[in-house]
Amino acid sequence: MPTQYYLFLSLALFCIGIMGTLMRRNAIIIFMCIELMLNSVNLLLVAFSKMYGHADAQLFVFFIMVVAAAEVSVGLAVIVLMYRKVHSVDVNILNRLKH
Amino acid sequence: MAALLLLLLTGVNAYEALTLPLEGKRLFNDMLMPGQVSAWFNTLMTGCTLLYVMLSGRDIRKVGNHVADYFALIFFTLCGLYILSSYNTLLMLFLGIEILSIPQYILAGADKRNLKSSEASLKYFLMGSFSTGILLMGIALLYGAMGTFHISEFSFPTTELFSPLALAGILLIVVAFGFKVSAAPMHLWTPDVYDGAPTPFASYMATVMKVAAFYAFIRLFHNSLGSVSNKWMLVIMIITAATLLIGNITAVFQQSVKRMLAYSSIAQAGFMLFAVLSVNELGRQSLIIYAVAYTLATVGMFTVLAKLKDYTYDGFNGLAKSNPMLAFATAIFIFSLAGIPLTGGFMAKYYAVSALMTQGNAMWLVLFGLLMAAVSVYYYFRVIWAMYFKPGTPQLHEPMTTTDNWLLLFTASLVILVGVAPQLVLAFA
Amino acid sequence: MTGMIQYAWLVPLFPLAGFLINGLGWRSLSRKMGATIGSLSVLVPFIISLLIFLDVRTGSNSVLSYFPFIQSDGLNIPFAFQIDSLSSLFLLIITGIGFLIHVYSAGYMAEDDGIVKFFAFLNLFVFSMLLLVMGANYLIMFIGWEGVGLCSYLLIGFWYKNQDYTSAGRKAFVMNRIGDLGFIVGMLLTLYCYGTLSYSSLFPQIGSANDLVSTNAKEWIALCFFIGAIGKSAQIPLFTWLPDAMAGPTPVSALIHAATMVTAGIYMIARSHLLYDATPITREIIAWIGLATALLTATIALRQYDIKKVLAYSTVSQLGFMFIALGCGAYTTAVFHVLTHAFFKALLFLGAGSVIHAMGGEQDMRQMGGLGKKMRITQITFLIACLAISGIPGFSGFFSKDEIVSAAFAHGKMLYAGALLGSMLTAFYMFRLYTLTFTGGFRGTHDQEHHLHESPATMTFPLIVLAILSVFGGYIGLPAVMSSHHLLSSFLGLNGAVVNQPDFLKSFEALHHQEWTLIAISSIVAIAASIAGWAAHRKPAFSANKGLALAFEKKWWVDELYDAIIVRPFLALSSAFDRGVERKGIDGLVNGTGKLVRWSAERMRLLQSGQVGYYLFVMVIGIALLLAIGFFGNPF
């Protein structure tokens, strides 16, 4: 299959991720949408890797996974911390800081 | 202990700066390429961190119960800074940015008793990971066009049509960097996060970490993408103008000095973007001077702020009467931020502006920047006004110790030193 | 005596040391100590300056380079001082008059709690001013330039308990910053066109055979520098800060806002005279702005009642005269007027300070009158200063002002008529001031009358010295018809430090035969206006001003105009940004990003998704726009 198809697929996934972060109010779901963005990049990298016949992009994918895992642990901890305080994961509630 | 370790690190970096070759040494399969300049940058920034830890060590201890963790996180970010100053592949750039950012999310939420702090952390985290996604997409597209991650091996066709993949990749990377350095319109997280985060950490985020991102920015855009600067120049010009405008004009309206500093950090980022735009040797030097001058003054201002109970301008009323040393140091920091001659801030602005003038095709931006610098005097001087010309008794969390006073004066004298002898900062740059 | 020049670095060092000692120890030093340290740290530089001056007179001059200030590829600016006849003359003015005013302040401020801090600021001012005139390149000059602005801000707001005073300080600072912007741009343009900021390498390039910079570019550079001078020397349209600056203590008004700082603009243009030689259009602008300022502010001075305000407007007006001279290309004449003006205007301010001191802080002339009986020394010295500034023959002001008027005559008849009218107004309002204050009967309260007294010796001593200088200071520049030696211009011409514009010199020499006539006309005008001023106010009656007089009293409503067209729109813009762009939530979205956003926001439930969503939304819009620009809008 031509690489363009992968390109379009991952761009579509990426845009879906972006739309999700914009439209959802639940912090966890927003976070999952961001994960979707990252994974669309993974897909794209693997496709390019195949195209060039190099393994370094696949290596990059592993790094992205590791870093994403680290982000998840930090992010979930922050969300849990927030949940304990306000008993909600709705980002709407975050309005103490403004002006 | 942390201070000792930082001292050691400064020393090691200074040694590296003396010994490393100018063009850089290839490490780890060409993934890192530290050179004399990047080692010198590391030295300066580690030195600033050392000063920061000494100035606000007491405030850091008061944030929460996990003091050791906070210092560990600061060391992690330093690690990210070292990677960012010497990366040679986009992979290392990505890792460096993440190592720099993830500890920041935690630091922003360090004050667990305070809802504002948690809120700042969550906001920063969500938006930060979003920008990571953008960065990664940029990297992937650039890789698709180039076939390599090594930034020193990028080659752009001179005759054929410029690959749209590469252009999109570059622009997305610009946006992601714009987020990290809080350039408009990606700046919206900045005031909230700095406001909510515990003051000593806000100070660190606004300075060393931001500067590290800037260094990574010019490392990529001056060296490997410099040859195609005509493709990204306009976008960064627009970002710069928007950043200067929004940062300065909004700062005028703030009532809280802490938020004013947040907007001022946006405004100063506009000037640091001059360094990116100029794509020349002078630009890089101007960034290093700007980094040092801005870091010293901002860390100093935040340290002063951490001592006060009231963060509004009124909280500064009468400070010159009750704590003349503190007020004097604050005045020096403010002068530097406003760019008054004989302070580091003036030299920094001077270098930034002359770098952009040498480059030559953004004269309107130079004029605009100067105009905005004139506006900035208005809000900076409100602090001086409050301290020296308004009656009042400022409330401090605890009385100033002699060490505090002398450290602040030392920092202030460094600010002056940079303004009088900028050559010292550029010793190896 | 040769070799004194190499010790020039000592000159600014002493005031700096004085500032540090007084500034760091202002809570522990006694008042006497502070005043002594402050005065000594200006007296010693005065002595050194005198020795340097004698040295320069023998023809030596030099650029002393201390250390590299900015050094990177292609850009090399050393930290250097230039000592030649122009800077040595200004050194003398600054340190000499500075010293007298320090002595005077010791008496005037004796009862103020902040006197040590006051001396610290004064010393810092002297230091900055010295940097300004000694610097061998525009960057050093700019450092001093900003420094004096800062000190002026600090000193105007010195009595910080009064809110008006501090806002006067801020006004001064902001207006100065606008001017400084011009200076910076001029500096950058110079750097861009010539690649250097040092006088010694810049000026030889201008007008030389290999000067490739177009006349247009030069005009722009000159104009930008002139904008800087407008701010600092209070010309139209940035003059309103100076009268407000009178809120500061009177010695400050005398030193900063009359004798030294405000003449920095004239110094700068005289210093850059080779540039201005090559830019006739800018010089024409300078001359007409000078004339407009001189006339406008002279009319305002006619109807002011605050004794210091009259002097302030008179200062602006005299500065206007100096700019007329500069615009005509008569640079030495402008410097001459700076010198004589420094003497008599400092004297006027110090005399006014002495009056205010005696009146217990009262500045309204309607409450004064007949003070001469109680304060003989003040009255006589003040009268001398009035005679000098009015241009009565024999006094210093006559010679310098006559030169300006003749220069205007050589330049054009319109300018001459304007300058003559200006000098007439000057004589009139000065004698109005003198008459209202010192003659007639006392109009104040009984308490005030009881309190009237001559000032202490620390205050009268400077008055007497300045009075002597005001009488004889003019004899260094006798008109050509009286003496073939113009001491000042031959001194300034040493090594070509300041030389009048060549074309101007020719036309000036051409009117030799008319010179007696010109002198006679200006003398008659001055004397007649003085007498009129005295006669009209011998028996003062104060009624509400109407018509034109009201416009004079209200300063032509310039402040109100600025407030309406600049200050308010700016604040409105700022708050619009705050509300529109920055303030989050529904209102912000609706106001700031318009209907399109509202429409799409409704669709996307963005309004409910709260702040983070809003931020991300703005970011995404921004990214989309930037991508679009990057792809389609690239001009390069």
The predicted model gives C617-636 an average pLDDT of 74
Does pTM top 0.90 for this prediction? Answer: no
Least confident of A4-18, C389-403, C473-487, C592-606: C592-606
pLDDT for res C588: 39
Task: Name chain C contacts of B277, Cβ cutoff 8 Å.
Answer: none
Task: Name chain B contacts of A48, Cβ cutoff 8 Å.
Answer: 140, 143-144
pLDDT for res A43: 92
Q: Confidence class of residue A44 from pLDDT cuts 50, 70 and 90?
A: very high
Whole-number Cα distances in Å, C326 to C269, C333, C418, C508: 8, 8, 15, 14
CB C201 within 8 A of CB C151: no
Pick from B185, B357, B388: CB nearest C160? B388
pLDDT for res B314: 83
Shortest distance between the Cα of A33 and any Cα of chain C, in A, equals 13
pLDDT for res C610: 40
Average pLDDT, chain C: 79
Pick from A27, A85, A97: CB nearest B196? A97
pLDDT for res B132: 92
| Tens-place pLDDT, residues B5-47 | 777 777 777 766 666 666 666 777 777 887 888 888 888 888 8
Would you call A21 and B136 a contact, using CB atoms and an 8 Å cutoff? no
pLDDT for res A99: 42
Shortest distance between the Cα of B85 and any Cα of chain A, in A, equals 20
Q: Confidence class of residue A53 from pLDDT cuts 50, 70 and 90?
A: confident
With an 8 Å Cβ cutoff, is C394 touching chain B?
no
* Main-chain dihedrals φ then ψ at residue A96, nearest 5 degrees: -75, -25
The segments of chain B whose pLDDT lies below 70 read 1-3, 15-25, 158-161, 429
Do the domain assignments include residue A1?
A: no
| CATH code for the domain of A79 | 1.10.287.3510
Q: Confidence class of residue C604 from pLDDT cuts 50, 70 and 90?
A: very low
Task: Name chain B contacts of C75, Cβ cutoff 8 Å.
Answer: 282, 354
- Cα nearest neighbour of B228 on chain C: C636
The predicted model gives C211-215 an average pLDDT of 77
Q: Confidence class of residue C252 from pLDDT cuts 50, 70 and 90?
A: confident
Q: How many angstroms separate the CA atoms of C479 and C511, rounded?
A: 12
Q: Is residue C608's pLDDT more than 80?
A: no
Would you call B118 and A85 a contact, using CB atoms and an 8 Å cutoff? yes
With an 8 Å Cβ cutoff, is C572 touching chain B?
no
pLDDT for res C481: 63
Q: Confidence class of residue C73 from pLDDT cuts 50, 70 and 90?
A: low
Shortest distance between the Cα of C24 and any Cα of chain B, in A, equals 8
Q: Is residue C265's pLDDT more than 60?
A: yes
Chains that touch C (3 or more CB pairs under 8 A): A, B
Q: How many angstroms separate the CA atoms of C124 and C23, rounded?
A: 9
| Tens-place pLDDT, residues C139-182 | 888 888 888 888 888 787 777 666 666 677 777 777 788 888 88
Q: Is residue C8's pLDDT more than 60?
A: yes
Selected for mutation to probe chain C from A15, A18, A19, A21 (highest C CB count within 10 Å) is A21
Would you call C73 and B377 a contact, using CB atoms and an 8 Å cutoff? no
| Tens-place pLDDT, residues C402-438 | 888 888 888 888 888 888 898 888 888 888 888 888 8
Selected for mutation to probe chain A from B31, B97, B119 (highest A CB count within 10 Å) is B119
**Structure letter (DSSP) for residue C262:** G
Q: How many angstroms separate the CA atoms of C392 and C398, rounded?
A: 6
Looking at this predicted complex, what is its ipTM? 0.92
Do the domain assignments include residue A96?
A: no
Shortest distance between the Cα of C394 and any Cα of chain B, in A, equals 44
Pick from C185, C573, C581: CB nearest B370? C185
| Tens-place pLDDT, residues B124-151 | 898 899 999 999 999 999 888 888 888 8
Q: How many angstroms separate the CA atoms of C31 and C112, rounded?
A: 9
With an 8 Å Cβ cutoff, is A50 touching chain C?
no
Do the domain assignments include residue A4?
A: no
Rg (CA), chain B: 20
Residue pairs between chains A and B whose CB atoms are closer than 8 Å: 119
With an 8 Å Cβ cutoff, is B374 touching chain A?
no
Do the domain assignments include residue A12?
A: no
C485: which residues sit within 8 A by CB, 6+ positions away?
C478
Chains that touch B (3 or more CB pairs under 8 A): A, C
| Tens-place pLDDT, residues C462-505 | 888 888 888 888 787 777 666 666 777 777 776 667 777 777 77
Q: Confidence class of residue C544 from pLDDT cuts 50, 70 and 90?
A: low
3-state secondary structure chain B: CHHHHHHHHHHHHHHHHHHCCCCCCCECCCCECCCHHHHHHHHHHHHHHHHHHHHHHHHHHHHCCCHHHHHHHHHHHHHHHHHHHHECEHHHHHHHHHHHHHHHHHHHCCCCCCHHHHHHHHHHHHHHHHHHHHHHHHHHHHHHHHCCCEHHHCCCCCCCCCCHHHHHHHHHHHHHHHHHCCCCCCCCHHHHHHHHCCHHHHHHHHHHHHHHHHHHHHHHHHHHCHHHHHHHHHHHHHHHHHHHHHHHHHHHHCCEHHHHHHHHHHHHHHHHHHHHHHCCHHHHHHHHHHHHHHHHHHHHHHHHHHHECCCEHHHHCCHHHHCHHHHHHHHHHHHHHHCCCCCHHHHHHHHHHHHHHHHCCCHHHHHHHHHHHHHHHHHHHHHHHHHHHCCCCCCECCCCCHHHHHHHHHHHHHHHHHHHCHHHHCCCC
- Cα nearest neighbour of A21 on chain C: C613
Do the domain assignments include residue A43?
A: yes
Would you call C608 and A25 a contact, using CB atoms and an 8 Å cutoff? yes
Q: Is residue C587's pLDDT more than 80?
A: no
With an 8 Å Cβ cutoff, is C70 touching chain B?
yes
> Which amino acid would we find at residue A57?
A
pLDDT for res B22: 65
Total count of domains within chain B: 1
pLDDT for res B93: 92
What's the token pair of residue B347?
A: 């030299």
pLDDT for res B322: 81
Total count of domains within chain A: 1
| Tens-place pLDDT, residues B301-327 | 988 888 888 888 888 888 877 888 888
Q: Is the dihedral of CA A24, A30, A34, A35 positive or negative?
A: negative
CB B286 within 8 A of CB B274: yes
Pick from C585, C609, C620: CB nearest A25? C609
What's the token pair of residue B333?
A: 């920091």
- Burial status of residue A83 (CB atoms within 10 A of its CB: 0-12, 13-18, 19 or more): middle
| Strand runs labelled E in C245-316 | none
